[in-house]
Amino acid sequence: MKKKVLVGVMGLMALVGMMSMSACSKEHQCKCMMTDVEDDGLLRYFVVDGSIACEDITEMSFEEHVSVEGGTSLRRVEVHKVNCRSYGD
């Protein structure tokens, strides 16, 4: 009897662990439109994980590699304010 209970508890723990791992790894797409310049008609979307809401994205930029003494670094170019929503909406 104890062996059946132990196997049942272990199975339940494994099921809960698998469900929590799959819930954390959900990705979704956010569609964004620039609000500080005129819309150019290009589709801009981001793939983000489940912990980020599309409405929380307020700024986007491009980065380019620049050479500095001792290696390379990143510099932001074309910083824009954006308004984002879920791509499926």
Provide the mean pLDDT of the chain.
79
Query: Would you say residue 4 has pLDDT above 50?
Result: yes
b/e per residue 50-60 (b: at least 16 CB within 10 A): eeeebeebeee
Higher per-residue pLDDT: 82 or 3:
82
Cα end-to-end span (Å), the chain: 52
Query: Would you say residue 71 has pLDDT above 60?
Result: yes
Q: How far apart are CA 31 and CA 13, in angstroms?
A: 37
pTM equals 0.58
Query: Would you say residue 17 has pLDDT above 70?
Result: no
Mean pLDDT of 34-38: 89
Backbone angles phi, psi at 22, to 5 degrees: -70, -30
Q: What region does 67 belong to: left with phi over 0, alpha with psi -120 to 50, or beta?
A: beta
Looking at residue 13, what is its pLDDT? 57
Q: How would you classify the pairing of strands 44-49 and 71-86?
A: unpaired
Mean pLDDT of 24-30: 81
